[in-house]
Each structure stands twice: as structure tokens, then as C-alpha cells.
């Protein structure tokens, strides 16, 4: 496939886990693990986008290309758009948004998202999902679910358990529809033109309701091509509990 780029938004401020991208995991900051995964993906350029001099200095320490972006951005998507605009990337350039708190994201999923967009000229954005089998995850509002059309384009994303099986389900005893329930993986590939357009759009009511930025894209008619993987990444780092789980999962073999 044509070369693609990875931009890693890395904001230092975090209400639930302060300085999370610089927290230590086996002698390296979380962000370095993310950057190393990106290097294995085959991306032609990997850039860390941050609003923090502290993050910038840490990146220089391990050899990453890091660039300062405005502190006023509301999202990582806006931060990536600033990088793309200042770099003068062509409109059809593919950029993968890899969050700076996802140290366990497999490199092949980064590549899969880019490949998916490269092969679909009708899509503005590409992302990934995996089948859900545990009803506890399906009911968990922190797990984002989605439904797709027959061609693999996203129809809707929600924190609610969707789709809802009408027959036999009650509020007290819900039944998860096997084969139809998917969890969204927060990894996105954009064309630079779509990224620029998206960043100019106002927040949508559905986006505000569910606190899901991708609903802004759907509200404004963007087509989001979904790829299914059966190799989902473990959780990212949002809390101290998440950090300890990542440390345990990444424990070096003896």
C-alpha cells in the first residue's frame, strides 16, 4: 500500500491519571511504548503531537519526532490536523491517530486501519472493532458499541448496549445478540482532506449526548469504514488501575 503516517496525540493533563503518558512501565514512559509500537507498523513518519514541553523533552530523550501544538485544542483530532496543516501534507495522505495512552496497541492493527482506508475510496475515515462475547462488556457504558451496514460502514456508535434483542430481553434480564454486538477500538485512519474538514465542524448534539467524537462525523455525513479484528488490544491507560494492569501484562518474561 501507499505509505501512511502516524500521529500520536499526547496531552500531559489528565484528570483521572495525571501525567499518564509519562508514567513508568518497566523503565520506559507509557508514550515510548506507544511510539515503539508505531515504529513496527510500517508508517513512513511517526510524530508525537503535544502541548507540553515536558512531553517534548521526554520524546527527545528516546529519539521521537515530537512537535508542540496549541494548548487550546479540544481533542487529539484537532492536534493532528494542526500537524498535518503545518507539514503541508497532501489531501489524500493517510494519517493514523494512535492515542498516546495505548501502549498495548498491536502494530498490525495500526497498519490494518491505514490499509482499510487506502483500499476504500468512498470512505473518509477507517476504524476497527471486534466481536463482543461477554454480556458484562456489552452492558458496560465505558465500552463503546457500534452497528454497521452490510458493506461495513458504521451506522451508529453508542455507550448503550446495541443492538437490543427485542424478543426475550427485559431490562432485568437482557440478552446480548451474538454475532451482532461489536466493541469499537479507538484507532482512526483519516485522509488529510477529511481531517481538515472534520476539524472545522461544530460539535453535534449526538456527540455531546454520548461523549463520542465519531458521532460528529456520522452526523455530518462522513463514511466510517470499519474493519473487524479478532485480535483486540487490551485496555489503554486511563486510571491507576489501568496502569497497573498494563504493567502486569507487559511484565518481561524470565
Contact 91, 1 (CB under 8 A): no
Strands 182-191 and 145-148: antiparallel
Domain boundaries, the chain: 5-129+181-201+220-230
How confident is the prediction along the chain (254 residues), in pLDDT tens digits per residue? 678 999 999 988 777 788 999 999 999 999 999 999 999 999 999 999 999 999 999 999 999 999 999 888 888 899 999 999 999 999 999 999 999 999 999 999 999 999 999 999 999 999 999 999 999 999 999 899 999 999 999 999 999 999 999 988 888 899 999 899 999 999 999 999 999 999 999 999 999 999 999 999 999 999 999 999 998 888 788 889 999 999 999 887 55
Question: What value does the mean pLDDT of the chain take?
Answer: 93
- DSSP assignment of 33-54: HHHHHHHTTT-SEEEEEES-HH
Contact 16, 238 (CB under 8 A): yes
Specify the fold of 5-129+181-201+220-230: Spore Coat Polysaccharide Biosynthesis Protein SpsA; Chain A (3.90.550)
Give the pLDDT confidence of 214-226 residue by residue, as tens digits: 999 999 999 999 9
Percent of the chain surpassing pLDDT 70 = 99
Contact 130, 183 (CB under 8 A): yes
How many of the other CB atoms lie within 10 Å of CB of 241?
12
Q: What is the pLDDT of residue 254?
A: 56
Give the pLDDT confidence of 152-186 residue by residue, as tens digits: 999 999 999 999 999 888 888 999 998 999 999 99
Percent of the chain surpassing pLDDT 90 = 81
211 phi-psi bin (left φ>0, alpha ψ -120 to 50, beta other): left
Q: Taking the model in full, what pTM does it have?
A: 0.92
Contact 31, 21 (CB under 8 A): yes
Instruction: Please name the residues in contact with 8: beta carbons below 8 A apart, sequence gap of 6 or more.
Output: 31, 34, 35, 38, 46, 47, 48, 49, 98, 99, 100
Instruction: Please name the residues in contact with 203: beta carbons below 8 A apart, sequence gap of 6 or more.
Output: 216
Amino acid at each position: 500500500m501507499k505509505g501512511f503516517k502516524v500521529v500520536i496525540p499526547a496531552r500531559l493533563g489528565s484528570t483521572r491519571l495525571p501525567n499518564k503518558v509519562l508514567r513508568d512501565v518497566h523503565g520506559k514512559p507509557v508514550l515510548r511504548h506507544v511510539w515503539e509500537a508505531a515504529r513496527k507498523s510500517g508508517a513512513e513518519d511517526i510524530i508525537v503531537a503535544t502541548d507540553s514541553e515536558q512531553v517534548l523533552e521526554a520524546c527527545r530523550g528516546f529519539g521521537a519526532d515530537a512537535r508542540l501544538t496549541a494548548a487550546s485544542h479540544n481533542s487529539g483530532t484537532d492536534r493532528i490536523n494542526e500537524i498535518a496543516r503545518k507539514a503541508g501534507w497532501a489531501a489524500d495522505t493517510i494519517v493514523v491517530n494512535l492515542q498516546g495512552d495505548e501502549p498495548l496497541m498491536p502494530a498490525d492493527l495500526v497498519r490494518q486501519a491505514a490499509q482499510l482506508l487506502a483500499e476504500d475510496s468512498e470512505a473518509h475515515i477507517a476504524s476497527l472493532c471486534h466481536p463482543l462475547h461477554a454480556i458484562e462488556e456489552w452492558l458496560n457504558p465505558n465500552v463503546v458499541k457500534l452497528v454497521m451496514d452490510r458493506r461495513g460502514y458504521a451506522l451508529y456508535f453508542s455507550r448503550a448496549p446495541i443492538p437490543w434483542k427485542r424478543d426475550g430481553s427485559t431490562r432485568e434480564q437482557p440478552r446480548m445478540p451474538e454475532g451482532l454486538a461489536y466493541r469499537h477500538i479507538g484507532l482512526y485512519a483519516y485522509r488529510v482532506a477529511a481531517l481538515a474538514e472534520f476539524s472545522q465542524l461544530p460539535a453535534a448534539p449526538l456527540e455531546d449526548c454520548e461523549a463520542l467524537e465519531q458521532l460528529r462525523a456520522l452526523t455530518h455525513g462522513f463514511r466510517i469504514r470499519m474493519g473487524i479484528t479478532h485480535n483486540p488490544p487490551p485496555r489503554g491507560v486511563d486510571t491507576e488501575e489501568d496502569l497497573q494492569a498494563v504493567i502486569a501484562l507487559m511484565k518481561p518474561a524470565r
